[in-house]
């Protein structure tokens, strides 16, 4: 709807500038929702005209505004100049159509875009321990981007690439078969992930901290023997050894199930799981190795094969012992995705940016276009206690953060008027965690505080959940027999709320273009602020007459629709009573 009035205003300004012999301009320099005015659109073309013609921009704006006849315009009721700006005020008909539009439009019809087959890969953590809050940001971002793309009409496949063939998995497998329960501390929780991570940490403590360096040395030390056994597992996986693969599956399967189950508590699910091990011992992998070796930039260094990306960067794709690396299999995985989807998105932590760039460069060298492939990087989340490391046992795991936040949520909603307090506490916990992550720019490091995140009076998930519940509470009080045929705007707060609704398509497009769900989270807060001002100035059930009540009811219903859609995109549970 905003595009209609924007187009009309732009064409009118350009036409009048030419008619007044100021020149033939191609851009009306329009600004949506100018802060200094109650207008919906303002043009600052007067600055350009004044500079080009040595005229006063204020006089130019006055001349253009006074020359426009609104009787010839469909969406504009008034055009006035304020200083050097030409301000356009919308007609009541435009406001009514805008309100009705957002009360019924489906997400897939909001943006005029091609609908594509899209894959979004996210999470893909090593199956070596529970997911911690630091990595959870990846899951939330990936899930929200998937929701957003699906909402506007794309056919989205949510992908999880299971890293079940790397060094970390080999270490876990070795540790699981090496140590007894008596060698390990008690698990922190009852999940398989909590149980198995103990073996991974014990294995990590038993092996060298800077890689399996001892296998390169002569001797029969205990560490040499242990690291040789880990390398043997890696080679067994590479060669398709069924016994080794059975050992690996025994630890990977329950670990993965436990990780996925913890994400499902936050509404995060997947359509497709691809296991890294599927590419091992295959003709495709052998062919890729040959293709990489055939590249002009490929070199052999200390027995290992590498692609010399540039003077300071080497991409190792085959170790000196003949085994391949994660990046090698990742190239195959990308080639497979490129063949099946129109567009691909990969969500990665900032610590993996260098690796992702090298994979893309290798794909390009191999002749695969990455024009329709987007890598979305993000910073991590930490708690007030500090950093995260599954291997070192540092940082809060997701289940621990959920528990802390849930307890704080229960205290915050201790109110006998709320029916199922446990269900509301669970929903506010999910809303708290997701909104805390999504309300920050994805490349901004953020700290999650379980107590602050449930404060309904701050900019939090529960605050937007409460706003949604409050909107629904208004509609519940409305007489169901009221006629909704009339539309009469009487307060500026009503107009401002309509403006904010009309901004919705712009926000959706910008969030998609920037791969930045934060823009929707910010819009939700702005919409909430417009709603609060509307509450204070525009009573609904006690409006002075039925025409005004009808207008406000329709406006609240349309706001509920947009507000609820934003919550669904962000993955924040709706709460009807709070």
Q: What does the pLDDT read at residue 221?
A: 62
Those residues whose C-beta lies under 8 Å from the C-beta of residue 361, and which sit 6 or more positions away, are 307, 309, 315
Q: What is the mean pLDDT of the chain?
A: 90
Q: What does the pLDDT read at residue 212?
A: 52
**Which residue, among 384, 341, 322, 301, has the nearest Cα to 115 in the 3D structure?**
341
CB 430 within 8 A of CB 454: no
CB 381 within 8 A of CB 448: yes
Distance of CA 35 to the CA centre of its chain: 28
Query: What single-letter DSSP state applies at residue 324?
Result: B
The pTM of this model reads: 0.91
Q: What does the pLDDT read at residue 211?
A: 47
β-strand pairing of 298-301 with 304-310: antiparallel
Distance of CA 122 to the CA centre of its chain: 10
Q: Report the alpha-carbon distance of residue 261 to residue 263 in Å, rounded.
A: 5
Block means of pLDDT (10 residues each) for the chain, 578 residues, are 90 96 95 86 96 96 96 94 95 95 95 96 92 91 98 98 92 94 83 89 77 49 78 90 94 94 95 95 95 95 92 89 91 96 96 92 96 95 62 65 86 70 90 94 85 75 92 88 85 94 96 97 96 93 89 95 98 88
What is the DSSP track for 234-281? HHHHHTT-HHHHHHHHHHHHHHHHHHHHHHHTTT---SEEEEGGGGTT
Q: Report the alpha-carbon distance of residue 93 to residue 77 in Å, rounded.
A: 9
Helices (H), ranges, 129-275: 133-151, 167-178, 192-206, 222-238, 242-264
**Which residue, among 444, 451, 474, 434, has the nearest Cα to 568 in the 3D structure?**
434
Percentage of residues in the chain having pLDDT higher than 90: 69
Q: What does the pLDDT read at residue 189?
A: 76
Tens digit of pLDDT for each residue in 141-174? 999 999 999 999 999 999 999 999 988 999 999 9
Instruction: Enter the tokens of residue 438.
Output: 């999504």
Q: Report the alpha-carbon distance of residue 558 to residue 564 in Å, rounded.
A: 10
Q: Report the alpha-carbon distance of residue 370 to residue 384 in Å, rounded.
A: 39
Stated length of the chain: 578
Q: What does the pLDDT read at residue 382?
A: 78
Q: What does the pLDDT read at residue 384?
A: 74
């Amino acid at each position: 709807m905003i595009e209609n009035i924007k187009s009309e205003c732009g064409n009118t300004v350009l036409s009048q500038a030419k008619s007044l012999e100021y020149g033939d301009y191609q851009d009306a320099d329009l600004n949506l929702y100018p802060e200094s005015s109650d207008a919906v659109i303002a043009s600052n073309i007067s600055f350009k005209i004044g500079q080009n013609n040595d005229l006063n921009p204020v006089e130019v704006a006055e001349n253009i505004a006074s020359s426009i006849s609104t009787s010839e315009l469909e969406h504009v009721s008034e055009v006035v100049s304020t200083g050097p700006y030409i301000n356009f005020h919308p007609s009541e008909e435009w406001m009514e159509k805008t309100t009705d539009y957002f009360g019924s439009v489906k997400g897939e019809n909001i943006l005029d875009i091609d609908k594509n087959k899209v894959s979004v890969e996210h999470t893909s953590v090593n199956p070596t321990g529970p997911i911690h809050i630091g990595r959870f940001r990846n899951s939330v971002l990936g899930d929200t981007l998937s929701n957003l793309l699906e909402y506007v009409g794309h056919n989205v496949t949510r992908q999880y690439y299971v890293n079940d063939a790397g060094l970390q998995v080999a270490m876990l497998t070795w540790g699981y078969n090496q140590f007894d329960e008596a060698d390990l501390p008690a698990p922190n929780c009852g999940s398989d992930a909590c149980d198995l991570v103990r073996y991974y940490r014990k294995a990590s403590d038993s092996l060298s901290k800077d890689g399996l360096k001892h296998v390169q040395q002569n001797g029969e030390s205990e560490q040499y023997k242990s690291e040789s056994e880990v390398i043997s597992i890696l080679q067994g996986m590479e060669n398709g050894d069924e016994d080794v693969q059975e050992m690996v599956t025994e630890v990977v399967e329950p670990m993965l199930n436990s990780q996925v189950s913890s994400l499902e508590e936050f509404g995060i699910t997947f359509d497709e799981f691809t296991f890294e091990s599927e590419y091992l011992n295959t003709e495709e992998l052998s062919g890729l190795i040959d293709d990489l070796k055939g590249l002009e930039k490929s070199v052999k260094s200390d027995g290992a094969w590498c692609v010399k990306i540039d003077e300071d960067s080497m991409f190792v794709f085959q170790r000196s012992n003949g085994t391949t690396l994660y990046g090698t299999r990742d190239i195959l995985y990308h080639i497979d995705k490129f063949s099946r989807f129109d567009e691909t998105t990969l969500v990665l932590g900032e610590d993996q940016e260098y690796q992702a760039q090298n994979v893309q460069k290798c794909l390009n060298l191999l002749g695969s276009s990455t024009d329709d492939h987007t890598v979305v990087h993000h910073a991590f989340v930490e708690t007030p206690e500090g950093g995260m490391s599954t291997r070192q046992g540092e940082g809060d795991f997701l289940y621990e953060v959920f528990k802390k936040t849930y307890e704080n949520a229960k205290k915050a909603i201790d109110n006998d008027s709320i029916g199922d307090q446990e269900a509301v506490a669970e929903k506010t916990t999910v809303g708290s965690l997701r909104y805390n992550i999504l309300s920050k720019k994805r490349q901004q490091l953020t700290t999650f505080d379980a107590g602050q995140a449930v404060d309904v009076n701050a900019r939090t998930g529960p605050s937007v959940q409460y706003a949604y519940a409050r909107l629904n509470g208004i509609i519940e009080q409305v007489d169901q027999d009221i006629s909704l045929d009339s539309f009469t705007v009487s307060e500026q707060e009503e107009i401002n709320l309509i403006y904010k609704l009309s901004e919705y398509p712009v926000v959706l497009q910008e969030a998609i273009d920037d791969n930045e769900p934060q823009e929707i989270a910010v819009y939700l807060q702005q919409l909430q602020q417009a709603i609060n001002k509307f509450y204070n100035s525009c009573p609904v059930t006690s409006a002075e007459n039925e025409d005004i009540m009808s207008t406000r009811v329709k406006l609240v219903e349309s706001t509920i629709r947009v507000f609820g859609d934003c919550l669904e995109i962000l993955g924040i549970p709706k709460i009807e009573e709070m």
